[in-house]
Amino acid sequence: MEKNQRTLTTALTCLLLIIFSFSNVAGQDLRESLFSDADAAFTNAKNVKADVLAPKSYSEAMKHYEKADAGFKKGENLEEIRKQLRAAINYLTKAEKATELANVTLKTSMSARNDAKQAEAPKYAEKLWLEAEKKFDEAGRKLESGDVNATKNKSGEAESLYRSAELSAIKSIYLAPTWKLLEQGKEIDADDYAPATYAKAQMLVKQAEKMLNESRYDTDEPRSIAQEANYEARHAIYLTNFSKEFKDSDKKVEDLVLASEVPLQKIAGKLDISAKFDTGYELTTQKVVESVELLQEEKDKLTGEVNGLKAQVETLSARVTEMEGQLGGVEKEKSQLAQRIQQQAENRKRFATVAELFDISEARVFREGENVIIRLYGLTFPVNKSIIEPRFFSLLTKVQNAINEFSGCMIDINGHTDSYGSDEQNLNLSNERAEAVKQYLLANMKLDVTRIKAVGFGESDPVASNETQEGRAKNRRIDVVITPGMQMGN
């Protein structure tokens, strides 16, 4: 009897669970059926940013939707729920239409909002951002009410606040850490122990701030200067701590100088240079720099040879594949293959001749496949200009001699800049400089205009870091790319 009761209880429990599960599924299906159109309307409204551009209608739609949702959860009359959802959809439709006018009327403030958001103003300038959002919301509500004058006033206020928030955020990202370091340095008397370094950090951070105030959208240069200021501030703190420790120790100036020689000694040793400091650091430093330059030159030469050999292997492989697939014309193919191999050998000799034309301070010469690239580090231009100064004529004469080594070749003059300045300005400047070199070559040698072209790449193809002065100098360059023709040499 007791066993039967337990069985009956278990069966009833299972039945109740099944009924409850079906009830939940049915409830979910009913909700989806009721709310699907409203949910889709909300998705469409958000896609056109109605929640931002038409806040009045959007918020009314949200109120009706929330009433419908609450009523459904309480099991209220379905017709009342449908009524609330229809009202929500009507307000969302109205909001979508309002965004069309808002996209025109609030265009400038919306653009300012996007810029501020991209600058992470909500995170780094929260107070200004919230004030701007409030004014922008008011502008949207006034526009929906048909008050055009009030809309313009509120939109203008919002735009001004967004721009302030944007600039504040940019400064916070780039400058705030350095100002904080300078405060820390001041607390430990860095301005007394390392006055020159501390003053340099102050000067750089002020310069970066001035540049951001004048042009907040070209952040490459002020960012680089701000990073340099940050380094100098940290450097000043290090020098201060070092000076205090040295002052409190028993060490002499001699100990300090000898310790400072050790890093350069290690570098010189790796380069098989005997480091001598009886006349200071300059001689050993010069030897190290010259050794590194020679190693770089040797590396470039080997890289060029490897690229040339790779091109030769590719040519041979293609010819072998082609010949294997042919039954006739073998002798002709052999002749063409022999000519190709001979031409590649001639081009390697010409490359070696061209490489010898330039000093390491003038150009870096290397190969990419069959192409010979002359990277003219020694050719510089006045700031923001494309004038070739007479002192570079002798260097360009060497370029002419290099081109003449390759009869029938094609020449590309590629201009490049560093990342300072706007993208558009850099692209135009690189084009103008490449064109200036092209016109110089056309004016000074017998060259068919169809064989040479000039292209500017702006800052898009750096060969070094734009964060250092040396790197930026390398990125400001003219590359002369020589593509050998099919004619044989003598």
Q: Token pair 């400064």 is at which residue?
A: 171
Structure tokens, 24: 């939940």
| Residue spans of alpha helices (H) in 325-422 | 330-357, 393-404
Best-predicted range by mean pLDDT (101-105, 178-182, 272-276, 317-321): 178-182
Kindly write down the DSSP assignment for every residue of 117-186, as one continuous string: HHTTHHHHSHHHHHHHHHHHHHHHHHHHTT-HHHHHHHHHHHHHHHHHHHHHHHHHHHTHHHHHHHHHHH
Domain locations in the chain as residue ranges:
2-105, 107-174, 176-249, 302-483
5: confidence class by pLDDT, cuts 50, 70, 90? low
Q: What is the pLDDT of residue 433?
A: 96
Cβ count near 73 (within 10 Å)? 10
Distance CA 442, CA 426 (A): 24
The hierarchical CATH code for the domain 302-483 is 3.30.1330.60
How confident is the model over 314-326, as a mean pLDDT? 67
Instruction: Please say if the pLDDT value at position 278 is more than 50.
Output: yes
- pLDDT (tens digit, 9 = 90+) per residue, 473-490? 889 999 999 998 765 444
- pLDDT (tens digit, 9 = 90+) per residue, 417-437? 998 888 888 999 999 999 999
Instruction: Please say if the pLDDT value at position 109 is more than 70.
Output: yes
